Copies of this chain bind each other. A is one copy, B any other.
Amino acid sequence: MKVKYELICNDGRARLGKLHTNHGTFDTPMFMPVGTLATVKTLTPEELKEVGSAIVLSNTYHLWLRPGEDVVAKAGGLHKFMNYDGPMLTDSGGFQVFSLAKPKDITEEGVYFKSHIDGRKLFLTPEKSIEIQNKLDSDIAMSFDECIAYPADYDYAKNSTERTLRWAKRGKDAFNNENQSLFGIVQGGEYADLRKWSAEETVKLGFDGYAIGGTSVGEGKDVMYQMIDDAIKYLPTDKPRYLMGVGEPSDIFEGIERGIDMFDCVLPTRLARHGNAFTYNGKINLKNLKFKEDFTPIDSECDCYACKNYSKAYIRHLLTAKETLGGRLLSIHNIRFLIRLTEEIRKSIENGNFLEYKKEFLDRYENSDK
């Protein structure tokens, strides 16, 4: 079946809802941790469930290279391959067009890449991206798009956005997996008229959900929020809306305030690898010498496995000694932190006090003396 979005209630534009998928139903707004290579770095599927993570994102470009979509298909799809039975979304490779390809590598037909592993020349098209995702058999596939760099001049953004729409059509036509849903992606760079055009035309094609892409690519916060505003008002209310690549608490709040239902970001696991942790009083770096004899948890208000069982001093020791359990404990904590944030936000939407909760959380998060 295709995913179904169920709107429970609004608080302003913020939406409380449920997304029904072939691998279970989850509440929205929801944060998705990223499992680039069919693993959320350092963690097992059981640990993801334990932190309340309801849906995981995995990367088409990376799985195309390793182990290859045919290996995953022979395993019975991505769920079986990685032993994860919850909902799963695959991106399209569009972000890698931004991060790995050069403008001149982008043609109407598709995008040339140099493999980040061995420099081998690769060619990814909308059809190929969809074929790979059909084989990976995620619950939600994404249209192949170009994630436009910021800033982009108007003509470049217009041409790219129009091409992304043509790619979306081609991908939709090539799509062949009745158990999988397909989301369209709104591009348009920083231009309001292009965002409007992209949203309206993408909706006309008819997808199971809509993403807002091209954010978190170096634009300022205000520009990002404007990009959301310029696109989201043209998206249907009966489909899920997904803001791609966003994971900072303040951005999650701003997205939800504007009607976003889903987020993904590598931030919690990337922060963990560098020894950083979210706390209700802002981020801290556990490698800091001041934690050497701090036998309290990362955040005394956190209910995660790391905070219930380990001290800052122990985690600092693990990080200093380059023991991988350190990054693993921080990954558990950081993902739990964002998942719990969405839990609290959902409660606030239900209670009609989303904006109060936002102010309360961010005042403390951004202004604490750590």
Contacts and interface: CB of A to CB of B under 8 A. Distances in A.
A166 B131 CA distance: 73
Nearest to A326: B39
A118 to B, nearest CB: 12
Interface string A289-321: 000110100000000000001110110111011
A104 B17 CA distance: 72
Nearest to A38: B317
B44 A314 contact: no
Interface stretch (A75-83, A145-153, A344-352): A75-83
A368 interface: no
A218 interface: no
A321 B36 CA distance: 10
Contacts of A43: 325
Given A75-B295, A324-B41, A324-B42, A83 B310 contact: yes
A13 interface: no
A321 B58 CA distance: 14
A74 interface: yes
Q: How many copies does the complex hold?
A: 2
A101 interface: no
Interface string A97-116: 00000000000000000000
A293 B71 contact: yes
A221 to B, nearest CB: 32
Contact of A39 (B81, B313, B318): B318
Interface string A60-83: 001000110001001110000111
A238 interface: no
Contacts of A327: 324
Interface of A: 37-39, 41-44, 62, 66-67, 71, 74-76, 81-83, 292-293, 295, 309-311, 313-314, 316-318, 320-321, 323-325, 327-328
Given A67-B317, A71-B317, 17 more contacts: A37-B317, A37-B321, A38-B314, A39-B318, A39-B323, A41-B323, A41-B324, A42-B328, A66-B320, A67-B313, A75-B295, A75-B313, A75-B314, A81-B313, A81-B317, A83-B314, A324-B328
